[in-house]
Amino acid sequence: MANLMKILLSVFAAVLAFLAYRYVIGVRSYAKKSGSYPSVAPGANKSMILEAHRASDFPEDWWIGESLFNLERRALFSKQWIYIAHRSQFAKPGDYHTFELANFPIFLILGKDHVIRGFHNVCRHRAYTITKKKSGSSTVLGCRYHGWSYDTRGRLVKAPAFEDIENFDKSQNGLFEIHTHTTRQGFVYVNLSTDKVSSPDVKTKDILARSWGISERSAPLAQVEVEEDLNWKQAVHYMETVGYAANISPNAWHEFASKMPFLFNIGNPGTHNILDSNGLSSLHVAVGGRLWYTLSSSPTSTSHTRFTCNVYLNWPGDNAQADTAVQAIKDEVYSILSGAKAAPLTLDATAAGLQVGILDELTAHLKEERKRGKKVWPASRDSTVSEMYNQADLLCKQLSYLKPKRAPDMDLLGKLGSRNELEW
């Protein structure tokens, strides 16, 4: 009798979950069908207009506006959680990878405690680039300009000509750390905001990944990078139109589904799913489930985007077959990007999808800027430095030209204070 009751409760819960799913889909469908969306003639140069009316009020320069792209950098890329890498790309402490996120240079590095941390890729001394290579491995990263060096936690460990200065505090001159979150299945997210932020809501995505065998132990297999003269939102819209977000499970039933995976097929191999709220990255699982890949986009301007495809292997097998599959994946990626580039610059009223959410975020940020009376860069840092720091920096430059027998003016050095933060 007890077993029968458990089965009945399970079926009842499943029905409720299904009804919740249908409700969410119905609301989204209604939202998509309301309103009309503008097309943009090639070469058009309209001024940006973003007002808080209906979600369907897209500006006419939605695909090509330069000022709109700058707003996107402030409203989206500076303060939202964005998927950027997978844990399996970091094999040992010191492994690092460098990225540009809408022209923000950052890097991720695996610490000796096996935690991935992210930092702005700028030295605290003169804002010189820290990691020159796209990827590498070192537990100490040194700036080639004046030799400042940092450990895997971003702490300053060496500052030539500054270490003997009184009141110079190494602990206050570490790299600018960014929010980093690694999920149970190994997806790594970053958030550039300087404010305190909540962890990203990625439970559903982890459930999908687990159902497909994706984990931290997945093995990187190949990487493909492509640059296209294409607006990033146009690529997102095209991929959404061809169905890459069709099988995402709503949050309303992810907990129930995770507890009873034998009752639900959460997603079918061969489908596509977005990894962040704006569709910048998507997860693709090949038929059979052995191979999967991510496709990420990083805009460099309003009309140019860099796409990165990382292919992974879930378990060992015939490498020859894997190579064949990788080539097929490359062909699929090129086909997706070619289709996006050839697609007309229009928004179908029945498939606005993610574009509505993007518009809402831009509108909300623009309202905040109007309220403050200035542009708001959530990733910015205090750009002021002390006069004593400037004097110390000047003295260090002069020391490089002095003969070895000539000693620096230590009385002056002892009077100098430390610098404040650089502006990102």
Alpha-carbon distance of 376 to 153, in angstroms, equals: 28
Alpha-carbon distance of 158 to 170, in angstroms, equals: 8
The rounded Cα 296 to chain-centroid distance in angstroms is 9
Residue 113 burial (CB count, 10 A): 9
Structure-block tokens of residue 369: 């800027």
The pLDDT tens digits of the residues spanning 111-162 come to 999 999 999 999 998 888 999 899 999 999 999 888 899 999 999 999 988 8
Place of tokens 């020859």: 320
Indicate the pLDDT class of residue 382, thresholds 50, 70 and 90. low
The pLDDT tens digits of the residues spanning 247-295 come to 333 332 233 333 333 322 334 445 568 899 899 999 988 766 778 899 9
Alpha-carbon distance of 48 to 60, in angstroms, equals: 7
Q: Which are the contacts of 420, defined by CB distance < 8 A and separation ≥ 6?
A: 382, 384, 385, 386, 389
Give, as one character, the DSSP assignment of residue 10. H
**SS3 labels along 274-341:** ECCCCCCEEEEECCCCCEEEEEEEEEEECCEEEEEEEEEECCCCCHHHHHHHHHHHHHHHHHHHHHHH
Give, as one character, the DSSP assignment of residue 408. P
Name beta bridge partners: 309: 224, 295
Alpha-carbon distance of 28 to 31, in angstroms, equals: 5
Q: Quote the crossing angle between the two packed helices 354-372 and 232-241, to the nearest 10°.
A: 150
What is the per-residue pLDDT for 413?
Answer: 32
The pLDDT tens digits of the residues spanning 166-183 come to 888 888 899 999 999 999
Element (H, E) at 395: helix 387-399
Name beta bridge partners: 83: 189
Give, as one character, the DSSP assignment of residue 159. -
The pLDDT tens digits of the residues spanning 319-374 come to 666 778 788 888 888 988 999 999 887 765 545 688 989 999 999 999 999 999 99
Structure-block tokens of residue 6: 């458990």
- 0.85 exceeded by the pTM? no
**SS3 labels along 190-237:** EECCCCCCCCCCCHHHHHHHHHCCCCCCCEEEEEEEEEECCCHHHHHH
In the chain, domain spans: 1-77+204-364
CA-based angle 254:260:266, to the nearest 5?
50
